[in-house]
Amino acid sequence: MRPDTPPFCPPICTQGKETRKRKANCDCARCTHFFLLKRSKWGEEGVRRRVVQYAVIMHHVAACESQICALSDCPTVIRSIDHMMKCVSKRGKCQNWLCNESSSTIAHWSRCSIVKCSTCEDIDTLCFRDELVQEANDQASTSNAADKLITEQMKALLHVNKCKNEKHCNFPHCSDWSKVEQHSSRCKDTNCKVVHCASSNAIWTHLERCEEKRKCRFCSVATGREVTEESIDMPILDWTMKREKK
């Protein structure tokens, strides 16, 4: 879950997996990376307050005996959070027991780099929330861009498959796509390096086999047959896409 995660766990790492006897603050490159990353994030006040709030609430819930405690408005929780944001006492020496317990949890998180540590996973999510949201947005954006490229190529292949006048056609790059189709429709090389050859054959395979063209995020957009209230009951007459060799 942590951003910029090193791609490996070296043999000398003492925190690569859950063990009872493990060395704190492992000196390997992987753990050092995590510790520095956490220390950097801990310097942000917003991150620090989120982590402190989580630790305080977690320990308060475990000890609270009230049947009507509202965590968001609980005076004990609010006071403890405000206290911890300013507390300078050494860990375990503060008179506020919630501060002591919460500080122990945060101290564990600060020096732990165990993969999927049950204590640290939630804190990691809170700490790196902004990075995780950005990563999810980037993945969605990349996926949307890839989908658009596929549907645009699918539209071009469907057009040139029927077009009889590519030299004077107004469809964008009709003649170029026609050359691609002429090559790919006859090419038998599964490792062909010609641009768009492999992807064109993959798209035609999908078009010929797809059984949910009105719902498919590629076929419905490329063919202009998205599901609407007007089209849902229309008979499917020409949905079997057949490739014509040029």
Domains along the sequence of the chain with CATH: 29-127 (no CATH), 142-223 (1.20.1020)
Q: Please give the pLDDT value at position 3.
A: 46
- Alpha-carbon gap, residue 149 to 152, rounded angstroms: 5
Q: Which two tokens stand for residue 71?
A: 């965590």
Q: Please give the pLDDT value at position 12.
A: 61
Q: Please give the pLDDT value at position 128.
A: 81
Q: Please give the pLDDT value at position 10.
A: 58
Q: Please give the pLDDT value at position 242.
A: 62
In sequence order, what are the residues at sequence separation of 6 or more whose Cβ sits closer than 8 angstroms to the Cβ of residue 212? Answer: 219
Q: Please give the pLDDT value at position 4.
A: 47
Q: Please give the pLDDT value at position 236.
A: 41
Segment-wise mean pLDDT, segments of 10 residues, the chain, 246 residues: 49 58 64 82 84 83 68 76 83 82 86 78 81 73 80 87 82 88 87 87 86 79 58 43 61
| Cβ atoms within 10 Å, residue 154 | 22
Q: Please give the pLDDT value at position 227.
A: 43
